[in-house]
Every structure is written in C-alpha cells, then in structure tokens.
Amino acid sequence: MIVVLKNNATDVDVNEIKDKITKLGCDVHESRGSDYHFLVLVGDTNSIDASSLTIYECVEKIIFDKEPYKKSNRLYHPDDTIVKIGDKKIGDKKLAIIAGPCSVESKEQLLSVAESVKMSGAGFLRGGAFKPRTSPYSFQGLELEGLDLLKIAREKTGLPIVTEITSTNYIDRFVEEVDVIQVGARNMQNYDLLKQLGKTNKPILLKRGFSATIEELLMSAEYIMAGGNENVILCERGIRTFENYTRNTLDLSAIPVIKKLSHLPVIVDPSHSTGLWWLVEPLAKAAIAVGADGLIIEVHNDPENALCDGGQSIKPKRFDELMKTLSKLAEIENRTI
C-alpha cells in the first residue's frame, strides 16, 4: 500500500500519518517526488482499512500494490488446484464438460437429456432445481422434487450432478445429495451463503457476478476458502456492458488472467452469457482455445417447450456435433475431452 500525499503536506501532518501507520504495524519508506510525496507501507497491510487514511486532507490517494486475496492467489500457491469429484477431476488435463437442461422439468425430460449428453461424452450433468428468476411470476423450479430427479438421473447415468443452491436453508441436503454445488451469479456476493459453504468440503462452482471484477470473484472464492473449503471451481458467464445484442458480454480474456492470478480451475458458460443458442457453439470453441478447464452448457431435448430459457439451449444432436469439434480443439491445447 502506498499513501500519496500532497506536496503541501506539513511535517506535522506527515508525522501524524506515519505514526498511525506504525501503530498499525507497518514500516514506512518515504520518497519525496516533485509533485507528490509517497509513503510506502512495508509489512502486513491486510488489516489496514485504506479508507481511514483518505480522510486526511493532505492525502491525495491510496495506491494498492497487493492483491487482497490470499488462499486463491497463485503467488502463495504456484501449482494448479485440481478439484476431485468422485473419480473425476476438474482442472486437470481432461476438460470438464457439464451439460444438461436449464431447469429440471420432469423425469422424462431429465433422463432423456442426461442419457444423450452422456452418450456424447459429457462428464457431469447440470440441471436447475431451484431457479433464481428475475420475475417472481416466472417458474421457480421444481425445488426439492427437482433434486430427487437429479439423483435418479445420476443413478441411471453415473454422471455426477451439478445444481444451484439459492438458500442457506438447504445446505445440509445439498451437501448430502449433490456432487458440485453451484453458486449463481446473483449470489456471488451473498457472503452469508459463501461462509456457510466454506464450512463444508463440497466442491463449489462459483459463478462470476455479471458485474463483478476478476478480483471480486477471487475475493468471493476467498470467503469460501477462508472457511476451510478449498474445492472451488470458478466460472466465467458474461459481464454486463453497454452492448445489448447479447444478454451479457462473455469475457474470455478473464480465463488466462484468472489462470495467472489464481491456481483455481476455471470453466466457461457459453449459454447464459449470451442467451442465444446459436452463439453457444462458437463461444464454446473459443473458450477451449483460450484455455478454459471446461464448459457448462445447456442442452434441452425440446427447447420450444422448455419452462425456462429455451432460447439459450441447444439440442442433443447439436451438442453431439459440438463435442466432436471440441475434441479436436482440446488436442491442440494438449488436453482431452
């Protein structure tokens, strides 16, 4: 942390701030430049609330040199984290392909989709039982019944199940019954939920909030990891920008950036980011080419009659063709599918 002082700061002012910093446990290196005067803080700056320094009239601004996240920071953990789910892994050489319907709608629908994505090579089954919808008047998911259907689908196909949690009330059931617990974009900063998930040891798929910076995503991962659960998988799913042709703008540069800053695995959701089924295929390919550890894709056997987000789902046949193309791309990346 570097405190930039105005050059007209008096010695009295500067000493007051230096004393305060020293009391907070840091050393100060001073550099007087032509326009500004710098106080470089050396030591553990994590506990210093920068905001309490900006209140001084002579402080021009505070500059942060260090990432506020630790457990998710590659600086302190150079090797890639590989999250294990039964005998499967996310973050390893083999890409994690998670596929399935937006919402679980019925046993027939779920089994049909689950079997077809398995045949095409998907490694995990996704499906929403609790659906966070913008409107209270929209279909909110089958809830616990949906969870039961997912378990049946897992039994039939052997695919581990990935589903979203929206309430702390159901944590125990999710821990017991689900293989990967998804935290959706809207709950990325629901710290109460994150803290409680941090006390479990379940793999957590943490989606980037649609207006969260990469640093904030890592800080949310930190909330889970600080509680002791280091099984976190990150997911880029599009950010909100002024461009409205697509629902969100998929930020693919975030993938190599996250890989540089953090050791956690990171996957891409090409379905929710754009909201348009015909963009799923090109963006899924781009995600693999840019270095993602996997994909989460919506597949529906009858999107015209889907209860939710049919417009962003692809059909099983198209998914099957996509998997074949992805397999060639994976090879170039020295990975398998």
Per the structure block, which two tokens stand in for 319?
A: 């998914």
- Min dist CB 155 to its own copies, Å, is 28
Cα separation, 193 vs 220, in Å, equals 11
| Closest-CA residue to 294 (of 128, 118, 92, 102) | 92
Quick one: 10 or 260, whose CB is closer to its own copies? Answer: 260
* Helix pair 277-290, 254-261: axis angle to 10 deg: 40
Quick one: 148 or 196, whose CB is closer to its own copies? Answer: 196
- Min dist CB 156 to its own copies, Å, is 27
Cα separation, 187 vs 166, in Å, equals 8
Quick one: 85 or 214, whose CB is closer to its own copies? Answer: 214
Cα separation, 308 vs 319, in Å, equals 19
Per the structure block, which two tokens stand in for 115?
A: 């079997």
- Min dist CB 132 to its own copies, Å, is 5
Quick one: 159 or 297, whose CB is closer to its own copies? Answer: 297
- Min dist CB 195 to its own copies, Å, is 8
Per the structure block, which two tokens stand in for 334?
A: 């020295």
- Min dist CB 234 to its own copies, Å, is 14
* Helix pair 107-120, 144-157: axis angle to 10 deg: 40
Residues near 45 by Cβ (< 8 Å), separated by ≥ 6?
A: 1, 26, 66
- Min dist CB 180 to its own copies, Å, is 20
Quick one: 19 or 152, whose CB is closer to its own copies? Answer: 19
Quick one: 22 or 167, whose CB is closer to its own copies? Answer: 167
Quick one: 82 or 286, whose CB is closer to its own copies? Answer: 286
- Min dist CB 21 to its own copies, Å, is 12
- Min dist CB 259 to its own copies, Å, is 9
- Min dist CB 332 to its own copies, Å, is 5
Asked whether the beta carbons of 140 and 133 are under 8 A apart, the reply is yes
Quick one: 84 or 213, whose CB is closer to its own copies? Answer: 213
Burial of 100 (0-12, 13-18, 19+ CB in 10 A): buried
Q: What is the helix (H) or strand (E) element at residue 270, kind and residue range?
A: helix 270-274
Counting every residue written for the chain, the total comes to 337
Q: In the beta sheet, which residues pair with residue 236?
A: 268
* 185-190 long-range Cβ contacts below 8 angstroms, 24+ apart: 185/209, 185/210, 185/212, 185/237, 185/272, 186/132, 187/132, 188/212, 188/216, 188/217, 188/220, 189/216, 189/220
| Closest-CA residue to 322 (of 265, 284, 287) | 284
Q: In the beta sheet, which residues pair with residue 62?
A: 3
Quick one: 52 or 201, whose CB is closer to its own copies? Answer: 52
